[in-house]
């Protein structure tokens, strides 16, 4: 399993939220170039019971039981963040939703590269047509925000499946990310 970049982790955690039965998923990314990378993913999905929450964070649990009960997405992210001296937290309310917050210290030698954020954001915004996705992206003093409902009004119903529209969206996000890097 190749979770080699911070973007890979974001996509993995987003996938959890998309699978949670949520109608709304919020993604916040706040960076200080070369210093710190914070992201938060919050959904209003089914949530995780307290007992299960303890188990899903333990990467060795499934090995002891000699069967794959849960995946490794959450423990891998926790480890990736803690390896940099950063932090990881997950808060979940059964029936109400889940919030994952992570800070990675970019200046730490063990920090993974950020990867392709524009690609992750296109995936986030086009993953499911019945889930509203809100993106808040900040680097230092600059940033932008996106709302999949507004995008749909702007680009048309088929922006999630029409290759020309998806390419346009990707181009827009690539440019927005480039602009943030220039600051």
Residues that bind ligand ATP (CB under 6 A): 12, 16-17, 20, 43, 45-48, 56, 70-74, 98
Which residues on neighbouring strands pair with residue 36, listed in sequence order?
32, 105
Q: What's the rounded Cα separation, in Å, for the pair 44 and 161?
A: 25
The residue number whose beta carbon is nearest to ligand ATP equals: 71
16 binds Mg ion (CB under 5 A): yes
Of residues 55-84, those binding Mg ion (CB under 5 A): 71, 73
Residue closer to Mg ion (CB basis): 1 or 164: 1
Name the one residue in this structure whose structure tokens are 């390419």: 167
Q: What's the rounded Cα separation, in Å, for the pair 140 and 81?
A: 20
CB of 18 to ligand ATP, least distance (A): 9
User: What separation in angstroms does the CA of 169 have from each of 104, 131, 148?
Assistant: 27, 18, 11
Residue closer to Mg ion (CB basis): 18 or 118: 18
Burial of 58-85, coded b for 16+ CB within 10 Å and e otherwise, reads eeeebeeeeeeeeeebbbbbbebbeebe
Tell me which of ligand ATP, Mg ion, none is bound by residue 56, counting a contact when its beta carbon lies within the kind-specific cut-off of 5 to 8 angstroms.
Answer: ligand ATP
CB of 101 to Mg ion, least distance (A): 16
Residues that bind Mg ion (CB under 5 A): 16, 71, 73
């Amino acid at each position: 399993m190749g979770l080699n970049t911070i973007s890979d982790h974001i996509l993995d955690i987003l996938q959890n939220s998309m699978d949670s039965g949520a109608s709304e998923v919020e993604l916040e990314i706040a960076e200080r170039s070369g210093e710190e990378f914070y992201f938060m993913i919050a959904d209003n999905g089914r949530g995780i019971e307290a007992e299960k929450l303890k188990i899903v964070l333990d990467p060795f649990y499934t090995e002891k039981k000699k069967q794959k009960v849960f995946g490794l997405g959450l423990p891998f992210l926790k480890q990736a963040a803690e390896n940099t001296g950063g932090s990881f937290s997950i808060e979940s309310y059964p029936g109400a939703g889940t919030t994952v917050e992570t800070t990675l210290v970019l200046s730490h030698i063990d920090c993974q590269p950020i990867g392709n954020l524009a690609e992750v954001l296109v995936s986030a915004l086009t993953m499911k047509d019945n889930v509203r996705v809100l993106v808040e992206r900040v680097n230092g003093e600059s940033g932008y925000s996106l709302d999949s409902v507004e995008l749909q009004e702007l680009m048309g119903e088929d922006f999630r499946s029409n290759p020309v529209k998806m390419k346009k969206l990707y181009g827009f996000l690539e440019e927005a990310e480039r602009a943030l890097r220039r600051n």
